[in-house]
Structure 1
Amino acid sequence: MDLSLKFSHLYNRERRWVRHAPSEGGSLSLRAVIFDYGMVLTGNPSTEAHDAMLRITGLPRDEFERVYWADRHAYDEGKLTGLQFWQNLIRDAKLDLDAAKIDELNLWDARMWTVQNPAMIAWQKELKKHGLRTAILSNMGDTVLENIEREFDWLPQFDVLIWSYQHNMAKPDPAIYELTLERLGTRPEETLFIDDKQPNIDAARELGLVGVLFTTVERLREQLIELGLEAELPLPA
């Protein structure tokens, strides 16, 4: 390599490091934002889809919720496919449903999580315009992902997409956060993580990420200001 090019490369690399290095008593500048998918980039789950699953199973709402969530983490970890998840649920609830009804439940389940949150999607675009890298880190099963990939054309706008079942691990496992950081190429202190579940936020903070619990866009804006991040990134509208 030409020496002038070599020294120019080293200078530029060092300059990037200095730009993000903490000053004494300060903190690293933010370089990336990691979004959860469900209830952050999406709105509330579809009531139409949820009601359809109640109708098909015939279960009382409380009993349906119990059996629905019993194996959900295993599904998110890739230990079960969507079809296996529903076969297990039907077995555990002692229901007598044929294969067509199980397929229908699997489809409605995917549709339930396909309700986008336009304000958060618009904010992701603004973050990209300001030079921040963005990622989705989601506990996600195969059938749900297949459906959202058909429905949403904005997923490729993110620099990194981490779907839990594809890696056989799920939040709050520290390893899945570490994988996301590795793919982003950022340090924990340089990375904002937004999720709607406190255990996932707690796990992220343990690793040094800047964790914010999501409830509403308005509250997210307030939290970012409270953290003094309004100078680091555009605020959601």
Structure 2
Amino acid sequence: MTSSPPPPGPYRGLLLDFVGVLTANVRASVQGWCVAQGLHPRAWGTTLTHHPEGRRLYLDLEAGRLSQSEWNRRTAALLGVADHEDLMGRAWAGVGSDAAMIALARTARRAGLKVALLSNSFGLDPYDPYETLGVNGLFDVTVLSEVEGIAKPDPEIYRRTLERLGLDGGACVFVDDNPDNLPPARELGITTVHADGGPDLAARVAALLDLPLQEADGVGREGATEVSTRSPGAV
């Protein structure tokens, strides 16, 4: 049986957020969908983040208290969209994966690092964003808020991720586009990287991990790194 080589630098683990880190074109896709529905381009973000009921429904979806199908039905009514079937999937139809970050995750695993997905998720059925964008096979550990019943920035979800990786915080790097999610990780000794929408994210993380930046290879629907969206609702 072959074993992975030891990681080249001081880090042993890489924790990755999903939206804004492994995705591309979320904002353009969702805003384009809104326009096609005859809505204001920012209707999605406004409803999910500022409308009291819309915000409550989205938080319930993240924490697994509400199924995606039920969320689709209730949120479509708030948006004024008649067809609620696969609402999330239709709005996300044009979203792609960030090829450079996908390639980096693969490089990290080949170099012997453990890689975890730590995502405030938003349902898996009928639309599974992780399967659709082809990222499921990238991780040693997958921690989803809807499965755990808690979401970032609750410190417990970071602790669970470290426990499942079998690593201390000081051995890990965490990448997230929402700055509110970084302090709890730092409290656990994790080195954090803010995915601020710049085109050099993969290069910055690769340099921190002392890894070569590999040529991006095809996964899902590829695209360039976009301006940070923080969550599927913040568009």
What is the TM-score of this pair, normalised by structure 1? 0.73
1:95-110 to structure 2, matched below 5 A, reads 95=80, 97=82, 101-110=83-92
Deviation, structure 1 residue 146: 4.4
Alignment partner of 1:83 out of 69, 78, 93: 69
Deviation, structure 1 residue 137: 0.5
> Over aligned residues, Cα RMSD in angstroms?
2.8
- Verify the 8 A CA contact 1:46 1:115 in the aligned structure 2: no
Alignment partner of 1:65 out of 45, 49, 57: 45
Q: What per-residue deviation string (whole Å, max 9, x for no partner) do you get for residues 24-78 of structure 1? A: xxxx93110001011101113163454224433x432344422123232221111
- Verify the 8 A CA contact 1:119 1:217 in the aligned structure 2: no
- Verify the 8 A CA contact 2:179 2:194 in the aligned structure 1: yes
- 2-side partners of 1:223 and 1:148: how far apart? 23
- 2-side partners of 1:118 and 1:48: how far apart? 17
Structure 2 residue 141 is the aligned partner of structure 1 residue 164: no
Specify the SS of the correspondent of 1:38: coil
Q: CA separation of 1:205/1:118 partners in 2, compared to 1, >3 Å: closer, same or farther?
A: same
Greater RCO (Cα-Cα under 8 Å, separation 6 or more): 2
* Residue identity matched to 1:177: Y
Deviation, structure 1 residue 91: 4.0
Which residue number corresponds to residue 221 of structure 1? 203
- 2-side partners of 1:148 and 1:104: how far apart? 12
Which residue number corresponds to residue 179 of structure 2? 198
1:104-119 to structure 2, matched below 5 A, reads 104-111=86-93, 114-119=95-100
Identity of paired residues, percent?
24
- 1-side partners of 2:102 and 2:14: how far apart? 13
- 1-side partners of 2:130 and 2:204: how far apart? 31
What is the TM-score of this pair, normalised by structure 2? 0.74
Specify the SS of the correspondent of 1:102: coil
Specify the SS of the correspondent of 1:136: strand
Q: Which runs of 5+ in 2 are unaligned?
A: 1-5, 50-54, 215-235
* Residue identity matched to 2:182: I
Q: CA separation of 1:178/1:217 partners in 2, compared to 1, >3 Å: closer, same or farther?
A: farther
Deviation, structure 1 residue 203: 1.9
- Verify the 8 A CA contact 2:177 2:194 in the aligned structure 1: yes
Deviation, structure 1 residue 184: 0.5
Deviation, structure 1 residue 141: 1.7
* Residue identity matched to 1:128: R
Structure 2 residue 164 is the aligned partner of structure 1 residue 177: no
